[in-house]
Structure 1
Amino acid sequence: MDHLIEFWPILKRLIKYAIPWKKKIILAFCLLISGATSEVLGPILISYFINNILSKHKFYFQSTLIIIAIFIILQILAVFFNYFQSIYFNKIAVRVINKLRNDVMNSAIKQPIYQFDSQPIGQIISKVTNDTEVIKELYDTVAPTLFRSITLIIIILFAMFTLEWHMAIIAIFIIPLVIVIMSIYQYYSTPLLRNVRYYLANINNKFNETINGMNVIQQFRQQNRFKKSIQNSSQLHYLARMRILKLDGFLLRPLLSLISALVLCSFIFSFSYFKNEVFEVGILYAFITYLGRLNEPLISITIQQSILQQAIVAGERIFSLIDSKKQEYGRNKKRFKTGKINIKNLSFSYSENQKNILNNINIDIPSKSFVAFVGHTGSGKSTLANLLMGYYPIKHGEIYLDDKPINSISHCVLRKNILIVQQDPIILADTFFSNIALGRKISEDEIWKILKIVNLFSLVKSMPKGLYSILGEEGNTLSVGQKQLLSIARILVKNPKILILDEATANIDSGTEKLIQKTLSFIKKNTTLIVIAHRLSTIVDADLIIVLDKGNIVEFGKHEKLLKIKGCYSKMYNFQLSKY
């Protein structure tokens, strides 16, 4: 019963996607009905020929020629109608899937950032690609095949009852048996198909993980371990597929063929038992032909049941993503006047069962000031930066940006006024221009000015296509320092009121660090600058240094003051000084 409850709402929702193309669907169905009718009329003509011409041993040349001509025309029309209905259904299917894929991608883009911390990327990719491709078959294969099969069954049964109702009653018993078989198939196949989709997504995820981590895998000679992991996932997918095939092999064609054979035996017995006047040879031929034709759509319906179930399972996975909770923002669209930040009694943990990452944080940061967060790994620096960006919902305490609660600020205003440069910036496999502009309206001259500020002018100028040079996958044609400078160039397109640098100078050389420092001195004239620093030499000039330890503020003040205290900061600074 649970399977039926899941089945119908998902199917209804998938069908709704086709509503915008209902006129073309009606036309495709009309073509389909015309094709089915043309196919069914053929045996009636042959039956007439056997009963009225062949069995009487009277050859009428003109009548025979007309019957042959009509038969050939009907076959040509059937081919013509079936070809065009197939084209229409495929066009509709592609358009529906494009719409569905857009919805899935839009939903994935609007997912809260924390969802990507726990959800494998391969699972999302599988939903956008493999699952939507399975649903495509619902529109271009399942729907037309089911409708064509049902139409054929109705027309064939009508023709049977018109020719001989006794034998038609025998034939009609096959339908309830098929319905029982389909119900049993649906019950047992749904959990198996769910496993197939899950294992396929798992394979995609492992491939994605392997390719992205290829350097580490080869460096630590982990090829065999990852190979076995992928083989294990593939084996699980194979076993799940085999269970489906075994179920198909038992419940679909063989069982239906057996039922059809029993009905055919009933026809032969009936024909032998009754007098020839009751059942003519032509009628027997027509019934045997129709039984073969009836068997075909019944088998098609049952086979489509398998594809339909796969589509429903795929739809279930896709709609779980579409319906999942989206990133929530406020409605306040007033632009920021200042880059002022106030954090009051802020405590945070990533889950309810986890202990707090931040404990009762209170900070007041004036506009256009330079503030640094420092501390050992796991002290909560990056978590605090993510909360300032609005990536996670705040449950305990409050963050105010420009005297507005962060939860009340609209997405548009928040993203314009507070930006972050991460330790490993994301570089698109696109041009220099596209990587800096990111869809925003900006001229080439303005881009060149920004490149001068971030000291990338000479690099871009030296490239064969200048601003329109394509950067490699994840910017692999650039050094780590150049990626950081490019990510800062993005910021300068529209200066935000607040800029966060999350360990942005941790992996770069001292020369690039000086270039970034020079760029930051230009930015902080109009922007509140928050630097999460691993290398303490970069933040000695900060207006305020906040030292975090295990989610608590343990020290704060300027560089000189903190050195005099000889506490946590002093130890960290002196340790780095001795190191370098």
Structure 2
Amino acid sequence: MINRRLLALMLRPLLKDRRRLVLALMLLLTATGMDVLGPWLTKHYIDSYLVPRDLRPEPLVILLMLYVGSQSLAALGRYLQTLYFARIALDAVHALRKRVFRHVMHLPQHVHDATPTGEMVARVTNDTDDLRELYVEFLATVLQNLMLLIGILVAMALMDVKLMLIAATLIPVAAVIIWGYQRASGPAAMEVRRLRAGQNARINEAIGGMSVLQAFNQTERFRTRYHDLNVAQYHARLHTIRISALLLRSALDLVGVIVLAALLIGYGADSLVGGAEIGVLYAFVTWLGRVSEPLIEITQRFNIFQQAGVAGTRLLSLLDRPQAGAGDDTRAIQSADYRLKRVSFRHHGAQANTLDDVTLEIPEGRFIGLVGHTGSGKSTLLDLLGGLQPAFGGHLLLDGRRIDTLAPSVINTVMASVPQEPFIRSTTLRDNLLMGIEADEAAMARAIDEAQLRELIDRLPDGLETPLGERGLTLSTGERQLLALARALLRQPRILLLDEATASVDSLTESRLNQALAALKGRVTMVVVAHRLSTIAGADEVVVMQAGRVIERGAPERLLEHQSGAYYRLWHQPGTLDD
């Protein structure tokens, strides 16, 4: 359903460049006037010269020059106004796409977790592109044809009001047809849009996990699921095509024929009383064709308006989602310490808390290890410490201030993290290491050595300039983690958050990384989620979590003295902890 907010979303970008819009409308008005003038000149030639057999060359040449000139101006005006409308449309979509992408970049983490990547991509690209079609194909066509329609009706009224009223009956009929089309095609258009987003999500999922699908022989199952979506979209599109074929050109062509017959009857009645001229008939028949065509063009383009309305609705639903809370406290961090007071957190849509009543103090420069079985809340707690998720209960303080009141720029200057699944771009290793910051070669070399990444760089054919490919899949899982660690260390953080940083590296690399962490101890506040307990053997304090609660904490050597304790049992289990 089209409402004010949706109209504002679709039309407000057009009003930003009013000078170009006014110029486009003036060109459109000129082209329309010249277009309407053609049949009028022809009518004048027929009634004033052809019927009376006045074939003097001078007036004929003048009429011919006027006719050619008017049609040339009409063509030039249509060409220029098309260019102007296209430029306005591209600028409008450019601004809208930036707005949508900026909003997506600041959505809370739980929204991205719950929304398939392909669907989010479809919102930013396909839906905004449908609004471009609205501006270029629909609005320009509607304005052009409405202007032409008004011009023709005015010209008809000046020539013969009775015949004009007969021709004008096309307009209310077209309005009824458009209304019926909107009612019938709206749900179908929404279904097409939903299925297209599902297709994008399925393609993105399949390509991202192709190695797993092939290894587990699941390619045929995914192909079948995509085929089912494809068939569903095919039938939904076929439904919209059937509605369009029935209610658009076919219906209006039929109505146009009926109106033409009524026009001929009306002209015949005028001829019996001697009040009609043959030129008037020619002009009205010509204009009637041009009345029918604008209405047909408008109704045929209405499916674009329908699709744009659906796309706009989807964009509004995305833009209505509240962004992640960003504080406005820009004071520099004085002390890189945390205090958690009865902090709770629940994932969006979950039935139970992921974290429940967590109270914890992390003084500056302390090395804290987080351990626990799968689902105990370790990674979620790390997300809260990094400001990626908001605490739903209690208080989480950094530098004695609530972390949700701090500006992101302030947090980013002191904090770096190594996530469980490192984000690697398809650019060079250097670009992935810098990730938008500036650093000299000495600082890069120091971070590379601290993260034990030197051996990898020496092995790559182009060193730091080696492209890493999509998601860095040319590297092993462990190498991607080393790269993410080097990227974090390059920022010389005062707070370092590591989530399973050594889970996928060999024992020798793990030993070297433990040495790097030991070198940072006391200088950097470190919170490390440990897959291998040896990683946090040198921690100042170990926090053991279970079901979102802290059940044990203390120095690792002290915890190992309690044989009935949770950490003691974890340490003596064979193998390593589940992540």
**TM-score, scaled relative to structure 2:** 0.95
> Residues 202-241 of structure 1 correspond to what in structure 2 (within 5 A)?
202-241=198-237
Q: Distance in 2 between matches of 1:179 and 1:58?
A: 44
Could you tell me how far 1:557 is from its partner in structure 2? 1.9
1:346 aligns to what?
343
Q: Which amino acid aligns with 1:31?
A: L
Instruction: Assess if the C-alpha contact under 8 Å between 2:163 and 2:267 holds in 1.
Output: no
1:136 aligns to what?
132
Q: Distance in 2 between matches of 1:410 and 1:246?
A: 54
User: How far does the alpha carbon of each residue in 1:172-197 deviate from its partner, in whole angstroms, 9 at most, with x for none?
Assistant: 12211211222222222222211111
1:574 aligns to what?
572
Q: Do structure 1's residue 13 and structure 2's residue 1 form an aligned pair? A: no
> Residues 371-410 of structure 1 correspond to what in structure 2 (within 5 A)?
371-410=368-407
User: How far does the alpha carbon of each residue in 1:28-65 deviate from its partner, in whole angstroms, 9 at most, with x for none?
Assistant: 11112212222211111111121122222332222222
> Residues 262-277 of structure 1 correspond to what in structure 2 (within 5 A)?
262-275=258-271, 277=274
Could you tell me how far 1:468 is from its partner in structure 2? 3.2
Q: Distance in 1 between matches of 2:367 and 2:523?
A: 11
Distance 1:577 1:65, change over 3 A: closer
> Residues 496-511 of structure 1 correspond to what in structure 2 (within 5 A)?
496-511=493-508
**Secondary structure of the structure 2 residue equivalent to 1:359:** strand
1:437 aligns to what?
434
2:195 is matched with which residue: 196, 199, 205?
Answer: 199
Q: Which amino acid aligns with 2:468?
A: L
2:280 is matched with which residue: 273, 279, 283?
Answer: 283
1:146 is matched with which residue: 142, 147, 153?
Answer: 142
Could you tell me how far 1:231 is from its partner in structure 2? 1.2
Could you tell me how far 1:146 is from its partner in structure 2? 0.8
Q: Which amino acid aligns with 1:389?
A: G
Instruction: Assess if the C-alpha contact under 8 Å between 2:426 and 2:471 holds in 1.
Output: yes
Q: Which amino acid aligns with 1:569?
A: Y
Could you tell me how far 1:150 is from its partner in structure 2? 0.8
User: How far does the alpha carbon of each residue in 1:378-432 deviate from its partner, in whole angstroms, 9 at most, with x for none?
Assistant: 1111111111112222122222222222222222212222332112211111222
> Residues 103-122 of structure 1 correspond to what in structure 2 (within 5 A)?
103-122=99-118
1:314 aligns to what?
311
> Residues 405-484 of structure 1 correspond to what in structure 2 (within 5 A)?
405-457=402-454, 459-460=456-457, 463-484=460-481
Q: Distance in 1 between matches of 2:94 and 2:438?
A: 28
> Residues 287-302 of structure 1 correspond to what in structure 2 (within 5 A)?
287-302=284-299
**Secondary structure of the structure 1 residue equivalent to 2:271:** coil
Q: Which amino acid aligns with 1:363?
A: L
Q: Distance in 2 between matches of 1:348 and 1:101?
A: 33
1:543 aligns to what?
540
**Worse-matched range after superposition: 199-208 or 181-190:** 181-190
Any unmatched runs of 5+ in structure 2? none
Q: Which amino acid aligns with 1:119?
A: T
Q: Which amino acid aligns with 1:514?
A: S
Could you tell me how far 1:461 is from its partner in structure 2? 5.1
**Worse-matched range after superposition: 152-161 or 173-182:** 173-182
Q: Distance in 2 between matches of 1:267 and 1:41?
A: 21
Instruction: Assess if the C-alpha contact under 8 Å between 1:338 and 1:497 holds in 2.
Output: no
Q: Distance in 1 between matches of 2:341 and 2:439?
A: 38
Q: Distance in 2 between matches of 1:392 and 1:439?
A: 23
Quote the RMSD (CA, aligned, Å): 1.9
Instruction: Assess if the C-alpha contact under 8 Å between 1:341 and 1:364 holds in 2.
Output: yes
Instruction: Assess if the C-alpha contact under 8 Å between 2:199 and 2:230 holds in 1.
Output: yes
Q: Distance in 2 between matches of 1:21 and 1:444?
A: 46
Could you tell me how far 1:346 is from its partner in structure 2? 2.2
Q: Distance in 2 between matches of 1:126 and 1:81?
A: 36
Q: Do structure 1's residue 126 and structure 2's residue 125 form an aligned pair? A: no
Distance 1:236 1:291, change over 3 A: same
Q: Distance in 2 between matches of 1:459 and 1:121?
A: 31
**Secondary structure of the structure 2 residue equivalent to 1:17:** helix
Q: Which amino acid aligns with 2:566?
A: C
Instruction: Assess if the C-alpha contact under 8 Å between 1:114 and 1:391 holds in 2.
Output: no
Q: Which amino acid aligns with 1:432?
A: L
**Secondary structure of the structure 2 residue equivalent to 1:575:** coil
* Number of residues of Structure 1 aligned to a counterpart in Structure 2: 575
1:259 aligns to what?
255
Instruction: Assess if the C-alpha contact under 8 Å between 1:433 and 1:447 holds in 2.
Output: no
Instruction: Assess if the C-alpha contact under 8 Å between 2:532 and 2:576 holds in 1.
Output: no
**Secondary structure of the structure 2 residue equivalent to 1:265:** helix
**Worse-matched range after superposition: 457-466 or 518-527:** 457-466
1:187 aligns to what?
183
**Worse-matched range after superposition: 431-440 or 123-132:** 431-440
Q: Distance in 1 between matches of 2:481 and 2:575?
A: 24
**TM-score, scaled relative to structure 1:** 0.95
Any unmatched runs of 5+ in structure 1? none
Could you tell me how far 1:572 is from its partner in structure 2? 2.0
1:46 is matched with which residue: 28, 42, 57?
Answer: 42
Q: Distance in 2 between matches of 1:159 and 1:27?
A: 24
1:246 is matched with which residue: 235, 242, 246?
Answer: 242
Instruction: Assess if the C-alpha contact under 8 Å between 2:541 and 2:553 holds in 1.
Output: yes
Q: Distance in 2 between matches of 1:352 and 1:119?
A: 12
Q: Distance in 1 between matches of 2:313 and 2:449?
A: 51
Instruction: Assess if the C-alpha contact under 8 Å between 1:370 and 1:524 holds in 2.
Output: yes
